[in-house]
Structure 1
């Protein structure tokens, strides 16, 4: 069951609506592999006892206190918990996180290499370590293999980080996790090829809709260059950077 659920989580997500409450592939792989390891330490029958589940949440899986409390209250001390029940209960009470601010969005832009189309894996690992989701014994599970095209995986990574980010934004303005999901959904409405990037041609309706005449020069080419760093395509992180400017109208958001 856990490996089957991981396989389902890895399927193409073109038809998914990110506005719905859902797991990223990162979460499915992490939670199912943690479930497997915990199960193997016990009777290894495909189930966790309530005591094993409580121990996993108390010792190894660092979720928000209210999230852990709600999950424990959802289940009963006599329950035998299979992988599907484990996942659905976490999903019902999953973390909202602290979202992403301008600085964090810019860090994700630097993580993805648009020309060669890949993630900087060592840099990505630094992100996972900052999230502090799991105990030392489970850190290896955060070395995720790439199962989607990088530009599409970038969208899931943005959602994953926003929902498990615990950094204090201080006085910085930020997008909530729900905002991040909503804006990536909007991005995908413009991504007609569903390949995770917006070309200059696909960008034209955005320029017409959101920017005044000063920025509509050459059908938005000036704006497109501003937010893509003169790259031929815009990815989801670049789009979030643009939305940051549009929402907060901060001059700092115009700097790339």
Structure 2
């Protein structure tokens, strides 16, 4: 490990890495980014940078959370995002394929968002009323869209309404949420067992479009959930 030069004088509260880029959030709400910017995920005009650069498109905004996808980035102020739009993950509807400056997601204009999560090519957002929104690539059910299509406008996941969702997480092609009772619901690809279904043999085509309770974790209150490319991990309040 080596100290990253160019970040002296700042205290950082969050760091996240995408496939080809890295984001860092300071305690003052500023965002620095570096790496490959071919798809705009670093938020600057250059094609890429090896040195951290302040994301000028977020200047004057206090960012409270960041997330990095395969080739896209998200920042939560009230709402704001920039990066690649290959599968609609910018949530802007019809528009340019790549955006190198953060752009607000219009549908969230009057809706406070409390959490964001980036998967490989899809995104999730948690609203203050507990509703979960999803958009982007949906071929394997990771956006809980029954048609399994890519969507470029965020849609509320009706199956999760009324559950008091408190946490969200997005993986390669799967998603997870935790409700106010500490229960985990998952959807998307399960071909490597990442949905926690408990099946001894997972089909290559295994997926869940509808958020499904992870029964194995019902007796333990889940405190935190995270998703990797093809796996999921959880911190429990007590042993199972």
**Larger relative helix fraction:** 1
Instruction: Classify the TM-score, shorter chain.
Output: under 0.3
Identify which of structures 1 and 2 has the higher relative contact order when contacts are C-alpha pairs closer than 8 Å and 6+ apart: 1
Q: Identify, as 1 or 2, the structure richer in strand.
A: 2
**Which structure has the larger Rg over C-alpha atoms?**
1
